């Protein structure tokens, strides 16, 4: 694959699109305005029927050759669209960034992420930069912020919670290697999967408390911030309807397949989690404590305990 490659710190921006014509140009403008200019975009379109492809082709012609590559996505949902790029061994760069079609990146987003990764990654270890977002409406008016999480980012958290949107994530080659080895999997979300895989393999995940993007909330969005009271009630409802339990089934199956890449401690935690989910009540609560699972807020951890009591995780 021909890429727009500079001298160093090259970033592959992995952009998934689907009928995003309403806001796509604004996102592409924010990429163009990045302080860090050594990047190229892979735009994977999932069969748009609006003007998305027209907009992409206009920017492809306007930008230098190789700056923007357009390809067809798998048309199996946004998770598989993102993973189809992250798992593609022909896409090569120093760093990789997931990109939604309807956000706005701050000019320093890539600069901040790359500096953080370079200063903190360990040789041969996965590293993921992610963080908070500012929620805005269709007209970019602020409506809130994503939660400020401060607890450690560990596999014991990743098993039962996704802490950051993929639209904030920038990761190193070792993380991409893990994704490539597993291939395009059936998972509830690509951001949750990368969090589980990176921490399970002994990598680090940094959660930036300073937002670097505007996360647009609108009716066409496939995934939103879920900041309304109704959205929070819906999340609780999903737990007791068994949806979270189904997600746990999927997570466990995938992580068992990834066992050769997991640390010894992660394997032990995974086995305890599997045993806990089907144990009798008194053993279930004891195993919850032994496993050390937690969410990023005390309310979240309390809801986890309640869900465990009712065998809903």
Under-50 pLDDT residues of the chain: 1-2, 4-6, 228-233, 240
* Res 16: pLDDT: 98
What pTM does this model have? 0.91
Q: Are 83 and 190 in contact (CB under 8 A)?
A: yes
* Res 230: pLDDT: 46
Tell me the domain boundaries of the chain.
229-309
* Res 309: pLDDT: 86
What is the number of other CB atoms lying within 10 angstroms of the CB of residue 141? 8
Query: For 201, how many CA atoms within 13 A lie in the half-sphere containing its CB?
Result: 27
């Amino acid at each position: 694959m021909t890429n727009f490659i500079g001298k160093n710190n090259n970033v592959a921006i992995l952009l998934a699109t689907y009928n995003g014509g309403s806001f796509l140009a604004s996102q592409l403008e924010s990429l163009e305005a990045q302080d860090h200019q050594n990047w190229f975009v892979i735009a994977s379109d999932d069969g748009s029927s609006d003007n998305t492809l027209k907009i992409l082709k206009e920017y492809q012609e306007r930008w230098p050759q190789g700056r923007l590559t357009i390809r067809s996505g798998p048309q199996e949902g946004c998770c598989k669209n993102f993973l189809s790029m992250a798992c593609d061994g022909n896409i090569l760069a120093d760093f990789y960034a997931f990109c939604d079609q309807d956000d706005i990146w701050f000019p320093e987003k890539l600069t901040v992420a790359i500096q953080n990764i370079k200063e903190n990654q360990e040789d041969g270890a996965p590293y993921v930069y992610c963080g908070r977002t500012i929620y805005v409406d269709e007209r970019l008016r602020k409506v809130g912020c994503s939660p400020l999480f401060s607890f450690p980012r560990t596999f014991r958290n990743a098993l039962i919670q996704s802490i950051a949107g993929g639209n904030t994530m920038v990761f190193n080659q070792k993380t991409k290697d893990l994704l490539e080895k597993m291939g395009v999997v059936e998972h509830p979300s690509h951001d949750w999967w990368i969090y589980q895989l990176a921490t399970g393999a002994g990598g680090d995940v940094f959660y930036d408390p300073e937002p670097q993007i505007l996360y647009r909330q609108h009716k066409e969005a496939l995934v939103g911030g879920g900041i309304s009271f109704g959205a929070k009630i819906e999340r609780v409802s999903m737990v007791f309807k068994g949806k979270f339990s189904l997600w746990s089934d999927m997570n466990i199956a995938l992580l068992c397949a990834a066992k050769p890449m997991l640390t010894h401690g992660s394997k032990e935690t995974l086995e305890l989690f599997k045993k806990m989910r089907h144990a009798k009540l008194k053993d279930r609560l004891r195993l919850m404590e032994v496993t050390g699972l937690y969410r990023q807020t005390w309310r979240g951890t309390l809801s986890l305990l309640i869900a465990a009591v009712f065998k809903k995780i």
